[in-house]
Amino acid sequence: MHLTSIAIFDHHAYPLYTEERWRAEPLERYFTQNPSPEMRPFVRDSLFFRRSLRDLAEFFGCEPSLEALEETRRRHNYLELARWLFAEANISHLLIEGSPSNDDLWPAEAHAQNLALGLGRIVLLEAELEQLLDHHNSATRLLNAFEGHLRELAPTVAAFKSVVAYRSGLDIGRHNLVELERAYSELRRSLTSSQTPRITSKPLLDSMLWTALKVASETGKVVQFHTGYGDPTLDMRLANPLGLRAVLEAPELRGLKIVLLHGYPYLREAGFLASSYPGVYLDLGLTIPAGSVHAMRTALHEATHLAPISKVLISTSARHSPEMFWIAARWGRRIVAQVLEQAVYNGDLTNEETEWAAQRILSLNAAELYGTFASSPTEPVVSLF
């Protein structure tokens, strides 16, 4: 299958670096979730890095060595290179998670202007709550203000996102008011005036999420949850999407749409949830392209063991460098093609159905989920946000 003509609706990614920061950043940094200098020598030995080095050398027309690649890519005008890579990646829409005040990153609107694509903002729930901490002396007032803030944001954003898997885990419980206020008092006592707050209190985070999920359900916003694979601050034991059962069973949240991001190694679990709950979708971004080729194929196979094709999505989950968007799009299409061809061989799909399935996974599932539409599978997706 040749899927380059299908424009990818990239429903989860991060902003590009400014040119100054991009030129200063070593290439290896983009191929690991661990930013420590001690990890960098080992990055070059990963299958992801070695495969991508050859891919990028082919793109740039240089020798497949790190030195040749670094020299060649930096000879290019950054804006022209970004446009070239995004055009080759054929990405129609970009939903961006990121800080609006980071001087090292392009502003969100610059992506739409410079790259000629549809744009939407992903709001990180934990970060929004942390911005409100200094202004409220009780958890009750904080959560009331937080709810009002989200209702104001909802019409202007594409999705909400939670990284509670990194903080206190996906097993989201309910807490009484005494527990909640005690946790909030302890948090406020621990903060200093110069400290950027990072909430890890389970009663506060869980209560925040019940508030946010209620708003999302009532306003029709998708909520993305980080699951599985991430950086070393993640306790993988707490990132299994099966922990979300209480949320998925909550009667007041019927109609809520949830996307389970990344997934690895929990793709089977995510596929089970997508097959069992109408509002659950799964994404393979980051697993593709960071895994080995075998791992990427296995991930999509496992996701579709149970999950309907109409609930499987692929994002780039790329961050900061335009090369990473191109690599993710390249391997997203390749893996979808290989797995769908195998599905035909196995008798799961017909040749005609694979064309439909590729359109769904790469574009139309996300376009419909995040509030956009396509008038037909062969026409461009039209942004509604």
The single residue listed with the structure tokens 């670094």 is 70
Is residue 278 one of the residues assigned to a domain?
yes
Nearest of 9, 91, 89, 119 to residue 367 by alpha carbon: 9
H or E element at residue 91:
strand 91-97
Per DSSP, 320 falls in state: B
Its domain, for residue 313, covers 8-369
Residue burial 126-164, b: 16+ Cβ < 10 Å; e: rest: bbbbeeeeeebeebeebbeebeebbeebbeebbbbbbbb
Residue 192 confidence (pLDDT) = 75
Whether residue 109 is contained in a domain is answered as yes
For 128-183, what is each residue's pLDDT tens digit?
Answer: 999 999 889 999 999 999 999 999 999 999 999 999 999 999 999 999 999 999 99
> Which pLDDT score, from 0 to 100, does residue 101 have?
73
Lowest mean pLDDT among 9-13, 119-123, 379-383: 379-383
Read off the CATH number of the domain in which 274 is found: 3.20.20.140
What sign for the dihedral angle of Cα 335, 336, 340, 346? positive
C-alpha distance from residue 156 to each of 152, 219, 245, 385 (Å): 8, 11, 29, 7
The pTM (predicted TM-score) of the whole model is 0.93
Residue 380 has pLDDT above 60, yes or no: no
pLDDT, the chain, mean: 93
CA separation (Å) from 19 to 107, 267, 273, 317, 326?
A: 13, 36, 41, 20, 17
pLDDT at position 246 is 97
> How many domains are there within the chain?
1
Which residues, 6+ apart, have CB-to-CB distance to 182 below 8 Å? 203
Tell me: pLDDT of 114 over 90: yes
Q: Indicate if the alpha-carbon torsion angle 223, 4, 270, 249 is positive or negative.
A: positive
* Residue entry with tokens 């709950």: 277
Look at the block and give the residue holding tokens 């995004």. 86
Per-residue pLDDT for 372 more than 70? no
For residue 1, tell me if it sits in a domain.
Answer: no
Residue 2 located in a structural domain: no
Angle between helix axes 177-190 and 139-153 (nearest 10 degrees) is 90
CA–CA distance, 268 with 30 (Å, rounded to integer): 27
DSSP 8-class letter at 16: B
Helix, strand and coil percent figures for the chain, each rounded to 5 = 55, 15, 30
> Is 335 part of any domain?
yes
What is the pLDDT at residue 385?
Answer: 32
Dihedral sign, Cα of residue 224, residue 230, residue 235, residue 240: positive
- Over residues 80-98, mean pLDDT: 95
Sign of CA dihedral 330, 48, 36, 28: negative
Q: pLDDT higher for 373 or 94? A: 94
DSSP-assigned letter for residue 183: H
pLDDT at 100: 62
Q: What is the rounded CA–CA span in Å between residue 362 and residue 374?
A: 13
Answer yes or no: is 66 within a domain.
yes
The verdict on residue 159 lying in a domain is: yes
**Over the stretch 238-293, which tens digit does the pLDDT of each residue have?**
999 999 999 999 999 999 999 999 999 999 999 999 999 999 999 999 999 999 99
| pLDDT for position 35 | 84
What is the band of 40 on the pLDDT scale with cuts at 50, 70, 90?
Answer: confident
- Looking at the domain assignment, is residue 375 inside a domain? no
Dig out the tokens for 263 from the structure: 């997934």
